[in-house]
Amino acid sequence: ANGNGCLLAMFVSVVDSQWSFSTSKIQNFDRKFAAKILNGFRHM
């Protein structure tokens, strides 16, 4: 049981780091996209 718990904890930490990484990438993309839209409105 102890070994399984250790593996599960490792799996959870890896998934958690991957999830936070992709979330920050998505937020970064959203900011760039919003900036492009705002710039487009300013040039109209």
pLDDT in tens, the chain (44 residues): 567 778 888 888 888 888 887 778 878 888 888 889 888 888 76
| CA pair distance 43, 22, nearest whole angstrom | 32
- Return the structure tokens found at 30: 């959203």
pLDDT for the residue numbered 20: 80
pLDDT for the residue numbered 2: 63
pLDDT for the residue numbered 12: 87
| CA pair distance 44, 38, nearest whole angstrom | 10
pLDDT for the residue numbered 28: 84
pTM for the model? 0.40
